[in-house]
A and B are shown apart, each in its own frame.
Chain A
Amino acid sequence: MEKNEALKKFLLRLGDNALIQGHRLSEWCSRGPMLEEDIALSNLALDNIGRAQAFLDYAGHFYTNPLSADDLAFKRSERQYFNFLMAELPVGHFGFTIAKQLYISAYEELLFEALTQSTDETIAAIAHKAVKEARYHFSHAADWCVRLGLGTAESHDKLGSAMTDLWAYTQEFFEMTDGDLLLLQLGIAPDQNQIKKVWTDKVNKVFMRAGYVMPAECYQYSGSQQGIHTEYLGHLLCEMQYLQRSHPQAAW
């Protein structure tokens, strides 16, 4: 596989993860459990949207006719999206969102830490900024896991079942395509197997602090590397892309 093609796909995955997660988090705006947490979740959403803009903008350079971040966000359909399946799952209850945040932000902190060493300078620069955000996102999620885990019997159970249900979407994070292996050789992308080891340990520490044991090995969903998604992504894109699809070229 050609390097530029591999890089484009890698950047789309990074950008799509940020965009779809950011969109889901933004759904909490005005619906947070309290004013402060509402603003906290909206802040997390904005970090993600900013990161999506940076990665998609860069990805756009690798098309024969360069595309903007907006083109990529608003004019692709499900099969052209490469975000993790976990990111597109509906927000669910607050504990479900926190469990999603825990798994994804723990991964992203490690990923961006590694990407600060990327031989691609643009990726390294974006990662340098993103790693600080991801560190905060992880800290926010881990704090809440401990609070809910050691809170009431109801909060413990709700978070616990969310973490167990979502476990089936975690191993997809670490899949590497042929393109990713090429990027690893070139020092552009990190080895996901290394990240997986540290991630498992990092997440397990939170489980222990919050009074849980790590979920058992289970069936793992997969497909997003090929653009195969859950039924939820289409509905999300419908809402997110409505304006551009109904009024092409609309701008303000």
Chain B
Amino acid sequence: MGKRNTIVVSSSSGEDKEDSTWSSRGNRSANSNLKSSKRSTNSKGAKKKARLVGLKSRTDSSVSDQLTLFCEDFDERFNGIKVPAGSLKNAHKQLWVDKYKPRSLDDLAVHKKKVEEVKMWFHERLRPCKDDCLNQVLIVTGQAGTGKSATIQTIASHLGAKVCEWNTPTPTLWQEHMHMSSSGLRYTSKLDEFENFVDRMRKYGSNSFIEGQSNSLSILMIDDLPPANGKLASGRLLNSLRLLVQSASIPTVIVVTDYGRADLPESSGRWLEELQSSLESAGACKVTFNPATTNSIKRVLSRICSQENCRATNEQIELIAKLSGGDIRHAISSLQYFSLKLDTVCYPSLISNNPSTYEKLISDEGNNRCLMPMGRDETLSLFHALGKFLHNKREAGAAFVSDQDAFVLNEKFARLPLKMDAPEKILFQAPEQARPITDFLHENVLDFLNDEAIDDSWTVAAYLSEADTLLASPNGFIFRNHEAENLSQSVAASVATRGVLFGNSCPVSSRWHSIRRPKLWQVDKSSSWNKHDLLKQRLDLREACSLPNSTVIATEYMPTLKRLNYAEATAPWTTMQDKQSGEDECDAMSIHGDERVESEDEIEDW
């Protein structure tokens, strides 16, 4: 069983890279799994693995899912049309992402300094005379597609080191499980596999995985962590990682993909952060990769273009680079898809030899983002959305011009047009629910009102009150119908945001504002705590003969008791609430832990 670890020995010199396999990334890694069976000692385990791989066409991460979709799309396109003679003829067998994998350090679209940093780290560890005090673990984090794995691979090949990869195993499907259990193979959890692997790594060192050549330099790369859900599983993962950090004997790189905050539920995002900081405290080194800059992506793209004889203009490349959001893999795939599109869509105009219409077509297409199928969905963080609503930017001066037909709006109700998308659209982009949005608006809106504008603050407060009423389920009924609930939620969010936008009739000129976390949440919590406390105190205090009502205790008994100087027995409210608020600050009760976030500049950017 123990031999089933998916350790892959792939020589990084790049000779395999020319394999013309028509596969997505997920399959590619599976293929290298196959390859490893030829080389690694544990051929028995690898054989099992091979069978496994044969079954698994499903890819493991969402990124590769996307790519698979792309591939299907490619297939369709390729089957549907005759490929025009020329450049694509020989190349279409392979995805550009694989074909143009960086070979040298210069190819990398990662910032020079980062590359240098990682390189130095390896240098120090791979020197013949090692300092023992150096910790052997490096954590590389960054968003998807920023070239984390590629950098490691490239540097390793630059230094002439071997990379052993531990790939996150693909999840087992139910059918596979059924199939395998019939063949007598028992299911092991991926986490178990990982723990097992780490254990062996510690006990027997890297030699248990890598054949012979112990004198050659080798690097262990853990490409993404096995999935761990729930406290228990993540605790185990963390433990085994810490063990690895403390005891690694060869340079080990742990690649952690940083999912955008918006993509994940808050808790798991925070968990990843915790994991990283805990590993760091255990002695690991950490390097964060920033999203690739538009310029470096452009550089890569134009290099590919020139090699592929692709006729994308500079503007188009720039647009693709921008839309990719710093994800270079995405950008390259987009370029490949885009160059396909060029040929299919614009083929007629090319034939007619009319460059101007061609240009026009292209630029039309380029300008209209909706036509670009490969743009990433933009997401807004909660604070960006809030900033938009609170700052309430409007077109300056441009008076509201109404049609003759439209009824004339009373001046009192007329507002300048908004300098943003419709609030609903922004809400749609922001991942948050209606309730937190409303709470945040309520907490912060008064800061953004003019000092004199008490009427406005009433308008805003009135709309927020409406929104709250909408948010409450009628008569304490729990909605049985989710559609109805969703509708009332989105209506409430809409009322709250539009209310805030409309109510603030003369927004103050923008200046720096911090956005506070709603105090309301803390208040709710302490209040229910105190209520509990009160009841208990009351029951303790007297020879209870009747169950008191909390309202009466709070409004009548407690104040009297305080007056009567029973202060020792019953904590006065100030101390009680101090204690409470102290506790609350430690509690993770907020969706965004930090109380003061996002400076004005950041809000301005959007």
Task: Indicate whether A and B interact.
Answer: no
The chain B residues found within 8 Å of chain A, CB to CB, are none
